[in-house]
Amino acid sequence: MTQKTTYRKRKILFLLGMSVFLQACNETRMVKIDSAPPGANVIADGKNIGTTPMQFDAEAIFPPHWYGGSYMVKGNLQLEKEGCNKIDMSVDDRLLSKDINKTLDCKQGVVINDEAKQAPVVNPDAVMSEQDIEQRIDKLKDIYDKGLITKEEYQEQRQRILNQI
């Protein structure tokens, strides 16, 4: 193989890699967060971003950065509600790849609604097209194939996506 052929192959691989990277950058990763009891303050890296149940753009709140040789998300997410113990979570790509549902440990007198804990959060404005659903399922399958989530997590998230139809 000539040096010119090797150079062309590397150039093509680089361009393909960049197109995949740029396409991935265009996607909005919406994460739903819910708590039992509902109404907990959601604090992202020290900034209050809303109360549960809510949905947020993961990349807008936790933009990825280069850490060493890896391009990833790092941050801190907290749930706080008066009368309950605070929940503190380290944020990474894996946490933001699925919806977040947490049960707060509350003092007596703070009512936890079991229906709110089990019912999925449905945003009527977030009606998804069949193409969106197919893309999400394909992306979820890729994550599963890479070993980033368990079979149970894959099946749970797949069912959530299908329930949005």
Q: Are residues 52 and 89 both part of a single domain? A: yes
Residue 55 lies in a domain: yes
- CATH value at residue 108: 2.60.40
Is residue 23's pLDDT more than 60? no
Q: Are residues 42 and 97 both part of a single domain? A: yes
Structural domain of 102 = 29-114
Q: Are residues 82 and 155 both part of a single domain? A: no
Beginning with the edge strand found earlier in the chain, give each strand of the sheet holding 30-36 in spatial order.
54-57, 30-36, 100-103
Beta bridge partners of 44: 47, 77
Residue 79 lies in a domain: yes
- 8 Å CB contact between 29 and 57: yes
Q: Are residues 150 and 91 both part of a single domain? A: no
Q: Are residues 68 and 142 both part of a single domain? A: no
Q: Are residues 64 and 135 both part of a single domain? A: no
Residue 85 lies in a domain: yes
Is residue 16's pLDDT more than 70? no
Residue 157 lies in a domain: yes
Q: Are residues 60 and 103 both part of a single domain? A: yes
Residue 5 lies in a domain: no
Q: Are residues 65 and 97 both part of a single domain? A: yes
**pLDDT single digits (tens) 103-158:** 999 887 655 544 444 444 444 444 556 777 888 888 888 888 988 888 988 888 88
Residue 23 lies in a domain: no
pTM beyond 0.75: no
d(CA 95, CA 44): 13
Q: Are residues 69 and 103 both part of a single domain? A: yes
- Taking residue 140's Cβ as centre, other Cβ atoms within 10 Å add up to 20
d(CA 91, CA 51): 18
- 8 Å CB contact between 136 and 72: no
Binned at pLDDT 50, 70 and 90, residue 97 comes out as confident
